[in-house]
Chain A
Amino acid sequence: MAKAGSEPRLDGGGNPVWLLLELTYQCPLQCAFCSNPRQFADYRQNELSTAEWIDAMSQARALGAMQIGFSGGEPTLRKDLEILVAEADRLGYYTNLITSGIGLTEARLHALKDAGLRHIQLGFQSTDRDVARQLAGVDCWERKLAIARSIKALDFPMVLNVPITRQNIGQVPDIIDFAAELGVEYLELANVQYYNWALLNRDQLMPTREELERAEAAVREARIRLGDRLTLFFVIPDYHEGRPKACMNGWGAIHLTIAPNGDVLPCSQATNFKHLEFPNLRRQRLEAIWHDSPVFKLYRGDAWMPEPCRSCSEKETDFGGCRCQALLLTGSGHEADPACSKSPHHALVRQAVQQAQRARLVDAPLIPRHASQGIGP
């Protein structure tokens, strides 16, 4: 869900402007690039109730949040989704649904429209059925095409979100044509970011620089050809770029994520910090969590920064990159993001790129997101 650098540079004045609700980690798909925690099954018995979610939305709105994302897992598995959307709309949020589409029906789309839902982001794997099945772990291709058409038939503004991997990068021109034909407003070709399941499958998922360059050329050509009809986002892959992403616009700056169990997180990957005790909505008010909790203050601002970040001229542009990536690759969240070429740990990223190229020769199968694989490293 983290969108490198695509967030507006909007000053929340020290308050959150973006609220992401991960309503459930349950999902009918088993995507090999899923960013949910590997222990997703542990959350199932402990999901917040309808009333608790409504209270969370209300508290965040009072703090200043304006955008709300209903995400997961697959958020449509929550039977109370329509109730939550209606309440969010009533509170004054701009409502976004982030879904695989599996679980949506025309009847539910109508109900969501009536509830005030303003936008749907549909995850899509490929225009090639076999590739789509390989990435999603299940065969849901036709279902997805049908629901994509239903969403447009109901005139919802729509983002088609395609996580880009080695498996589907060759289909980028076809995917662009498909999006244009479907009439979506935005196509987001989001190079997979390597956390949780995607990190587990990194060697098998990562495309080569040449493949990325070809895809980028196709995007440039399509932008000229399609003009206003379709806005194309190509989210830069930080592993190849040498520059870190401005992750979440900085830790605890404008983003607030709430996990299915009520844990309040600066970003949905923050649970990778196993030693941190995350504040929970069931025990504390959101305002106190946002302003005063040790977790939110941990990397807020730039006082935490080591060199080379501390004296870097780009520190207000990229905020030192991603804290979770620093943790996962170097073992410490306090380091500069190794995706940055100035990081003393940048070799880790270069090695990962080379390792993924070697792994191509072996072509090991993808590990699907599945509870049986949910043992942390």
Chain B
Amino acid sequence: MSAHAITPHDRFEIRPPFLFRWEDSQQAHVLLYPEGIVKLNETGGDILQLCDGKNTVGQIIKQLSQRYCAADETTISNGVLNFLEVSHGKGWIRTTA
């Protein structure tokens, strides 16, 4: 799939039919979809939680840098961009205008 590079101004939201939520029994965020489940690791869950269609990618990176007390924002930035690209490729998220 040809996807253009993600920019700091992009906004993402969870793409139907995926349902994103916290699951107590797994102590993790999960994505539920027809006949399937994806269990997310902690950072993946943190990133998708901020994909609410309002936050820009730049804002997500800022917020997570603060939350993780990161000395170097570049590492966080690379991690977030990479995860968003994978999530987009898997159809979990879509861009909003």
**Interfacial residues, chain A to chain B (CB-CB below 8 A):** 3, 6-8, 10-11, 13, 15, 17, 63-64, 66-67, 69, 92, 94, 96, 118-119, 121, 157, 159, 185-186, 227-228
B17 within 8 A of A: yes
A186 close to B34 (CB less than 8 A)? yes
Given contacts A8-B38, A10-B39, contact A228 B19 (CB under 8 A): no
Decide if B16 touches A157 in the complex (CB within 8 Å). yes
Assess A8 versus B36: contact at CB under 8 Å? Given A118-B19, A119-B17.
yes
State in angstroms the CA–CA spacing of A227 and B30 once bound together.
Answer: 26
- Is there contact, CB below 8 Å, between A13 and B26? yes
The reply to whether the CB of B71 lies closer than 8 angstroms to some CB of chain A is no
A67 touches B37 (CB 8 A): yes
**Chain B, range 6-51, C-beta contacts under 8 Å to A:** 16-17, 19, 21, 23, 25-26, 30, 32-39
Residues of B with C-beta under 8 A to A159: 34-35
Q: B36: which A residues are within 8 A, CB to CB?
A: 7-8, 67
**B69 within 8 A of partner (CB):** no
In the complex, besides A63-B25, A94-B19, 7 extra interface pairs with C-beta distance below 8 angstroms are: A3-B35, A8-B37, A8-B38, A13-B26, A118-B17, A227-B1, A228-B91
Q: Contacts of A66 on B, CB cut-off 8 Å?
A: 23, 25, 30, 32, 37
User: How many angstroms between the C-alpha atoms of A17 and B36 in the bound complex?
Assistant: 10
Which residues on the B side are within 8 Å of A10 (C-beta)? Answer: 37-39
B: which residues have CB within 8 A of A?
1, 16-17, 19, 21, 23, 25-26, 30, 32-39, 91
**A123 CB, nearest partner CB in chain B, Å:** 14
Which residues does chain A contribute within 8 Å of B30, judged by CB atoms?
A: 66
Q: Count of A-B contacts with CB under 8 A?
A: 56
Contacts of B21 in A (CB 8 A): 92
Complex Cα spacing A3 to B36, Å? 11
Please report the C-alpha to C-alpha distance between residue A185 and residue B91 in the assembled complex, in whole angstroms. 12
Closest CB-CB distance, B48 to chain A, in whole Å?
16
Chain A residue nearest to B38 (CB atoms) is A8
Task: Find out whether the CB atom of A157 lies under 8 angstroms from the CB atom of B34.
Answer: yes
Q: Does B34 lie within 8 Å of A121, measured CB to CB?
A: yes
Q: CA–CA, A275 to B23, complex, Å?
A: 38
Q: Most chain-A Cβ atoms within 10 A of its Cβ — which of B17, B23, B34, B38?
A: B34
Query: A228 — nearest CB in chain B belongs to which residue?
Result: B1
- Residues on B with C-beta less than 8 A from A8 are 36-38
Contacting pair A67 B26 (CB below 8 A): no
CB pair A96 B37 closer than 8 Å:
no
Minimum C-beta distance from B55 to chain A (A):
25
Nearest Cβ in chain B — how far from A332, in angstroms? 31
Residue of A nearest to B34 (CB): A119
Given known pairs A13-B26, A228-B1, the reply for A67 and B32 (CB within 8 Å) is yes
- In the assembled complex, the Cα of A371 lies from the Cα of B91 at a distance in Å of 44
Question: Complex: how many Å from CA A157 to CA B15?
Answer: 12
Partner of B37, one of A17, A118, A227, A228: A17
CB distance from B14 to the nearest CB of A (A): 13
Pick the most buried of A6, A8, A11, A228: most chain B CB atoms within 10 A of its CB.
A8
Is the beta-carbon distance between B25 and A94 smaller than 8 angstroms? no
Q: Which residue of B lies closest to A188 (CB)?
A: B35
Contacts A8-B37, A118-B17, A228-B1 given; indicate if A94 touches B32 (C-beta within 8 A): yes
Distance between A372 CB and nearest chain B CB, rounded to angstroms: 34
Residues of A within 8 A of B19 (CB): 94, 118
- Chain B residues contacting A15 (CB-CB under 8 Å) are 25
Residues of B within 8 A of A121 (CB): 34-35
Task: Name 26 A/B residue pairs within 8 A (Cβ), A-sorted.
Answer: A3-B35, A7-B35, A8-B37, A8-B38, A11-B39, A13-B25, A13-B26, A63-B25, A66-B25, A66-B30, A67-B35, A67-B37, A92-B21, A94-B37, A96-B34, A96-B35, A118-B19, A118-B34, A119-B35, A121-B34, A121-B35, A159-B35, A185-B17, A185-B34, A227-B1, A228-B1
